[in-house]
């Protein structure tokens, strides 16, 4: 399965590299060319926009700084929803407010796109080693479809409840890491 991955920062780059090591084909997008070039040299392919990623991939993972960036990338002009089809799955692995996750989920659902919120804990070292803890909110059937892909980046992956539950569960865990 070709996986689309949007957001190649400190966490996203090693996550993509772990997907590549697991044998997945990965199409990437980021606004920083240097980050794109680094993962392309590791075997990924690059896309011209988030819309292009969604048009080519049935599974899209986002790893972005915060809620406003997630909303722009998914809901904005030339965004994921403009390129996605009804059988697409979006997994947002960013740490965002649960209400933002629900807002993006509702917009996805209106187009027939399934969504999970799946923030991570473990920081850059665990992203590099592929040992992230992944807390997921969303439908179990969707979680089951992407579980193996998530486990290519993590040591544990747990379904915590409905959409928004991943981010609700993740916040106390991140506070403990500080």
162 is written with which tokens?
């409905």
CA dist 95 and 58 (Å) reads 22
Residue-wise pLDDT tens for the chain (178 aa)?
Answer: 799 999 999 999 999 999 999 999 999 999 999 999 999 999 999 999 999 999 999 999 999 999 999 999 999 999 999 999 999 999 999 999 999 999 999 999 999 999 999 999 999 999 999 999 999 999 999 999 999 999 999 999 999 989 988 887 655 444 444 3
pLDDT tens figures, 134-168: 999 999 999 999 999 999 999 999 999 899 888 87
The class (CATH top level) of 2-177 is alpha beta
Residue 178: its pLDDT value, please?
Answer: 39
Task: Show me where the domains of the chain are located.
Answer: 2-177
Alpha carbons within 13 A on the beta-carbon side of 50:
25
Under 8 Å CB-to-CB from 44, ≥6 apart: which residues?
5, 16, 20, 26, 27, 28
Residue 157: its pLDDT value, please?
Answer: 95
Q: At what angle do helices 12-21 and 33-41 cross, to 10 degrees?
A: 20
pTM here? 0.94
CB atoms within 10 A of CB 33: 10
Residue 170: its pLDDT value, please?
Answer: 59
Residue 174: its pLDDT value, please?
Answer: 44
Paired with 46 in beta bridges are: 28
C-alpha to C-alpha distances, 9 to 13, 22, 55, nearest whole angstrom: 6, 20, 22
Q: Are strands 89-92 and 25-29 parallel, antiparallel or unpaired?
A: unpaired
């Amino acid at each position: 399965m070709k996986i689309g991955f949007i957001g190649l920062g400190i966490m996203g780059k090693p996550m993509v590299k772990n997907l590549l090591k697991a044998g997945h084909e990965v199409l990437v997008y980021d606004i920083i060319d240097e980050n794109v070039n680094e993962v392309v040299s590791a075997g990924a392919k690059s896309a011209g926009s988030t819309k292009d990623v969604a048009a080519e991939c049935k599974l899209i993972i986002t790893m972005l700084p915060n809620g406003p960036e997630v909303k722009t990338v998914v809901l904005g002009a030339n965004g994921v929803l403009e390129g996605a089809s009804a059988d697409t799955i979006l997994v947002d692995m960013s740490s965002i407010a649960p209400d933002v996750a629900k807002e993006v989920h509702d917009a996805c659902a209106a187009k027939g796109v399934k969504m999970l919120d799946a923030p991570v804990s473990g920081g850059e070292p665990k992203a590099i080693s592929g040992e992230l803890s992944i807390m997921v909110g969303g439908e179990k059937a969707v979680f089951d479809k992407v579980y193996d892909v998530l486990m290519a980046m993590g040591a544990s992956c747990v379904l915590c409840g409905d959409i928004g539950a991943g981010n609700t569960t993740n916040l106390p865990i991140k506070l403990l890491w500080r």
